Amino acid sequence: HLQGNKMTETVTINDKEFKFEDLDESQKYYYSQIKLTQQEADNLKVKLDQMTGSNLFFKDQLAKSLIKEEEEK
């Protein structure tokens, strides 16, 4: 489990708190990369939901169009 808290400047990893200021440069870098990659993953989940919804919409539109075309014959 990883959690950061900017107000107290602590990083919680596996239920243990560490002061952010006590981390060395590489640990701070790792932490910033974790935050950035989590944000990107969250953004991609939103994008995936949007694309999935759009895909379903267009499939539905195509099906309606084909059914209407068939009924007109």
The series of mean pLDDT values per 10 residues for the chain, 73 residues long, is 65 92 96 96 98 98 93 83
Is residue 72 within 8 Å of 66, Cβ to Cβ? no
pTM: 0.68
Q: How far is CA 33 from the centre of its chain?
A: 14
The burial class, CB within 10 Å (0-12 / 13-18 / 19+), for 27 is middle
pLDDT at residue 7, rounded to an integer: 64
pLDDT at residue 3, rounded to an integer: 63
Is residue 9 within 8 Å of 19, Cβ to Cβ? yes
Closest CA to 11 of 29, 31, 30: 31
pLDDT at residue 18, rounded to an integer: 94
